[in-house]
Amino acid sequence: MHPDTADSPFIRACHRLPVPHTPVWYMRQAGRSLPEYRALRADVPMLEACATPDLIVEITMQPVRRYGVDAAIFFSDIVVPLKAIGVDLDIKPGVGPVVDTPIRDEAALRVLRPLTPDDVPYVTEAVQSLVKELGPTPLIGFAGAPFTLASYLIEGGPSKNHDHTKAMMYGEPALWHALMERLTVITLSYLRLQAEAGASALQLFDSWVGAVAPADYREFVLPYTSRLFAGLADLNVPRIHFGVGTGELLGLLGEAGADVVGVDWRVPLDEAARRVGPGKALQGNLDPAVLLAPWDVAERRARDVLARGRAAEGHVFNLGHGVLPTTDPDQLARLTGLIHETAV
């Protein structure tokens, strides 16, 4: 980790310390909304790009150069560690992760062996290069959370209702817990190696966990997310916990033990602060689709997010989910300027 990142607005906000301006970065800031990204990726499949250190570094840097955001997010995907241990999967353009043989029984679990740094040398190498190149700008490492990874593995690809996933969770709880256990071991090693290589913060993406009810979250998911955050505590890097549609789960996400809770656009930040409880910073939560409207509309909405964010003990400005591919990069440039210029 670069010594100056500790004093950056992003890391300070995560620790709920005073900041000169509200820090801002965007989920999927590196990706299809950027022409320079599309040019680099034109002839390179997604998973090949994710295993090529020079490309990882360049794509991670693109939005930092263009927008001057307060943090970089490591360019990769949540399925990269699964691919690295031998799960037969691919990322299909326009679809997302697709698993050749979905995991639906005990025998299929065997492929989910523990991950070691030797499985992902390109991740360690790219993190180390990025930390040098970024200087005082923090690098966020990340992983998919066990529930969200389980959904891709069980369904075999993106899913609207997570039917097979919930069928296993409710109908074969022993198999479910064995799968979550293995994914927790993999995810913990993967996050730790990114921090040990120099990442300044870690974000756990539980994008699809909003599909479960609070009581089921407590029984089937919380034991694993709690263990993950506890297993990262000694690293002394801020831990961010993100999900979509998690309004009813915000209290439980707070309980899971992260330093920062991500909030999508469905719950205003002042109400989210109440639901998450004390001792946490919040990250969010402008609706990404607002950036498709004219700037004056986006500006008004962004100012409202900033104002409500003051109810939180620390606030990292972000969108409620990833940048939509059709977003005009100039909107994100204007938004970044607005966040930086607004008095805290």
Residue with smaller CB distance to ligand 1CP, 16 or 329: 329
**Two structure tokens written together for 137:** 């700008």
- Using CB under 6 A, which residues numbered 148 to 167 contact ligand 1CP? 148, 158
Of 46, 116, 44, 128, nearest in space to 81 by CA: 116
DSSP state of 30: S
Q: Annotated catalytic sites, by residue?
A: 28, 32, 41, 77, 152
78 binds ligand 1CP (CB under 6 A): yes
CB 305 within 8 A of CB 320: no
Bridge partners of residue 241, in order along the sequence: 204, 261
46 binds ligand 1CP (CB under 6 A): yes
Binding site as annotated, residues for substrate: 28-32, 77, 152, 207, 321
Distances (CA, A) of 314 to 18, 238, 306: 8, 12, 11
What residue spans of the chain are helical by DSSP H? Answer: 9-14, 35-41, 46-49, 53-67, 80-84, 121-134, 146-155, 163-171, 173-197, 214-220, 222-232, 250-256, 269-276, 295-309, 329-341
From candidates 200, 207, 318, 336, binder to ligand 1CP by CB under 6 A: 207
75 binds ligand 1CP (CB under 6 A): yes
332 binds ligand 1CP (CB under 6 A): no
Q: How far is the CB of 77 from ligand 1CP (least distance, A)?
A: 4
- Using CB under 6 A, which residues numbered 84 to 103 contact ligand 1CP? 91, 93, 96-97
57 binds ligand 1CP (CB under 6 A): no
Residue with smaller CB distance to ligand 1CP, 100 or 118: 100
Bridge partners of residue 202, in order along the sequence: 141, 239
Given the rule CB under 6 A, which residues bind ligand 1CP? 27-32, 41, 46, 73, 75, 77-78, 91, 93, 96-97, 142, 148, 158, 205, 207, 322
